[in-house]
Amino acid sequence: MTRTKEASIQTAGRMKRTVRAHPRRNLLLGGFVAIAGLALLGCAGWLYVRDHEITLLSDVFTRERKQETEEPSVIVICTETSLPSAAIDTINTWSQSGDLPEAVDVSVEPYTAERPASCDVVVSSHDEGDFDLVWRKYYVLAAAVKSPIDSVTNDELTELLGGGSIDAGGASITAVIDADFQEDLDNAFGLGIRLNISDDVVAVVSADPSLVGVIPFELLTPRIKEIDIAGSSLLRRTAIDSYPLLSEVWVSEGEFPVLFSKLQTALGPTNYDESAVSTVVVTGTTVVGARGLYQQATTSGDWLYAWRSVGDILREADIAHVSNEGSFVDGCTQGGWSMVFCGSTESFEGLTWAGVDAVGLTGNHILDFGEANFLHTLEMYEDAGMKYFGGGANSTEAHTAAVFDVGDMKVAFLGYNMIPPASYNATSMSPGSAGLDEHAIKADIARVRDDVDFIFVDMQWGNEYEHQPNSYQTSYGHIAIDAGADIVTGVHPHWVQTIEYYDGGVIFYGLGNFLFDQTWSQETREGIMVRHYFYDRAYIGYELIPTILSETYRPEPADGADAERIKGYACAGL
């Protein structure tokens, strides 16, 4: 054996021994070989079999890369031309910017009557069958509080929106609209609206009783009033389902729910929810169960007789207010004329039946039958779940606000008396009314202002049997508003007096008689119930409800010329 051959055999033997001694190294080596082989196969475009087809691996990779770079699919959104401009603008923005979370392009196809067959999604101003409501905007027909118009028919509304005029109490009424809203309403109704254009409809309408304005619901203020449309009213919450002045957006969601949610977000919430409307009804001079009211109740055998025509108005309010001047006394039998007032305890039933919540005790007859009967009357109110204010068992109670919760809103009532006798005013040791004093008004309002949303103040003030307030009324009314009150109401003069807007507040100087027996003159038979409207913790208006005492001392809602005359007294200064 040669030296060379021997060396070769030794080398081979060492290799074999090495392999046997390191099996893990053997496996790693095999793995590297396999990976290298696969790489070579891929680079060479070798074949593999899948689903009985022979495909080049390089073709598979090419197809996947192509799918990743394909253009997004196109969604065709068909938009009815009567849609609000905000909806159309939003959708057109999508088509230009692709502002959608899905990899899609948007093509917008407007239509008027018959929608195209290519629609993936339909956006319409009405339900075209199994559509979802996205958005709704309510408008109101509004007029100055002193305007003779309170309601219109559907035909009259059409006439007004078409640029025509209607007659109300002998006055010719026309409509105005803000240019920002005209297009949407024109789209919604297709009436070719031809109204006069104004930059500030609320200001123009509030100053001119011959005009009505078409405004979004949220622009209502106490300086204007909502006009009833064929029995539909947003504030009174009547016939809402048939309310005509609104624009809507409906969507056929289909397979693209993201469009629904994005459109809803872009348009924002609806501007009206009937559950957010709250009402407070305030009334004038009342002496429950006294004098003629007692006579009529006993004659008819009906202790509710005086309340029956106005009970529903009070009962429907979230807070119903009465300013009662007398105490309830067992055995009170006021069968004839007297200037000392009491109410039979049986007559108390009227307050509970009518749903009265807040009772003002500022009357100058509150202690006519003594302190004991007055204190017993306070117990009757408490037992019935009523809250009283403007009077109490002592001066501290008399100057403490009665606070009510209406949903998320808190409403406070305070009251004051400036009519003699001064001995009827409460002291630290005796019951009675809260005396009218500038310092007390400011202190009482400051004590409650930060804890409530609105403050009502009753005032027993003014000259009896006059339509105009005196200087003391004006001065103290302004003091109350300056101190933080929102609404001030006069409950003494027995005649309806004027209304004043002052520094964000409203002063009703006198509401006349409500439940009383002064039927000896036309003016003393007249009164006004005021229904105050609140929306989502904002004061947005009031409604004047004129009343006339019948010959049998029952307050009846007035209408026609009587209603206009009574409202005329209140609105004389507006």
For residue 358, count CB atoms less than 10 angstroms from its CB and return exposed for 0-12, middle for 13-18, buried for 19 or more. Answer: buried
Cα atoms in the 13 Å half-sphere on the side-chain side of 244: 19
Partners of 321 in the β-ladder: 358
| Tokens standing for residue 216 | 């979004």
37 pLDDT more than 50: no
The bridge status of strand 132-144 relative to strand 246-252 is antiparallel
**129-159 confidence digits (pLDDT tens):** 889 899 999 999 999 999 999 999 999 998 9
3-class DSSP assignment, residue 83: coil
For residues 461 and 490, is the Cβ–Cβ distance under 8 A? Answer: yes
**Nearest Cα residue to 227 out of 143, 158, 163:** 143
Residue 254's pLDDT is 66
Mean pLDDT across the chain, nearest whole number?
Answer: 86
CA 308 to chain centre: 29
Q: Is pLDDT larger for residue 44 or for residue 386?
A: 386
The bridge status of strand 319-324 relative to strand 285-286 is parallel
Overall average pLDDT of the 14-37 stretch:
40
Lowest mean pLDDT among 10-19, 31-40, 72-81: 10-19
For residue 415, count CB atoms less than 10 angstroms from its CB and return exposed for 0-12, middle for 13-18, buried for 19 or more. Answer: buried
28 pLDDT more than 50: no
Question: In the structure, what pLDDT confidence band is assigned to residue 342 with cuts at 50, 70 and 90?
Answer: very high
For residues 152 and 160, is the Cβ–Cβ distance under 8 A? Answer: yes
Q: Is pLDDT larger for residue 300 or for residue 64?
A: 300
Say what the alpha-carbon torsion angle 166, 169, 173, 178 is, to the nearest 10 degrees: -120
Partners of 500 in the β-ladder: 507
In CATH terms, the superfamily for domain 276-570 is Metallo-dependent phosphatases (3.60.21.10)
Residue 183's pLDDT is 74
**Nearest Cα residue to 406 out of 321, 483, 311:** 321
Question: In the structure, what pLDDT confidence band is assigned to residue 417 with cuts at 50, 70 and 90?
Answer: very high
The residue type of 513 is N
**156-183 confidence digits (pLDDT tens):** 998 998 888 999 988 999 998 877 777 7
Domain boundaries, given as residue ranges, for the chain: 73-133+250-271, 137-245, 276-570
| Domain 137-245: top CATH class | alpha beta
Residue 99's pLDDT is 58
Overall average pLDDT of the 363-392 stretch:
97
Q: Is the dihedral of CA 555, 561, 563, 565 positive or negative?
A: negative
Residue 66's pLDDT is 42
210 pLDDT more than 80: yes
Lowest mean pLDDT among 36-45, 166-175, 228-237, 377-386: 36-45
Say if 137-245 and 276-570 have the same CATH topology: no
Lowest mean pLDDT among 43-57, 141-155, 466-480: 43-57
The DSSP element (H or E) to which 10 belongs, if any, is: helix 3-21
Say what the alpha-carbon torsion angle 469, 470, 473, 477 is, to the nearest 10 degrees: 70
Residue 519's pLDDT is 94
463 pLDDT more than 70: yes
CA separation for the pair 233, 226 (Å, rounded): 8
Residue 445's pLDDT is 98
CA–CA distances in Å: residue 62 to residues 45, 52, 70: 12, 20, 13
Q: Is pLDDT larger for residue 24 or for residue 109?
A: 109
Q: Cβ of 105: how many Cβ atoms within 10 Å?
A: 14
For residues 135 and 87, is the Cβ–Cβ distance under 8 A? Answer: yes
> What letters, b where the CB count within 10 A reaches 16 and e where it falls short, cover 538-561?
ebbbbbbbbbbbeeebbbeebeee
Lowest mean pLDDT among 82-86, 295-299, 451-455: 82-86
Q: Is pLDDT larger for residue 520 or for residue 15?
A: 520
CA separation for the pair 492, 509 (Å, rounded): 9
CA 36 to chain centre: 76
For residues 146 and 209, is the Cβ–Cβ distance under 8 A? Answer: yes
Report the largest interatomic distance among the alpha carbons of the chain, rounded to a whole angstrom: 159
For residues 167 and 160, is the Cβ–Cβ distance under 8 A? Answer: no
Question: In the structure, what pLDDT confidence band is assigned to residue 86 with cuts at 50, 70 and 90?
Answer: confident
Overall average pLDDT of the 188-200 stretch:
66
**524-570 confidence digits (pLDDT tens):** 999 999 999 999 999 999 999 999 999 999 999 999 999 999 999 99
Question: In the structure, what pLDDT confidence band is assigned to residue 96 with cuts at 50, 70 and 90?
Answer: low
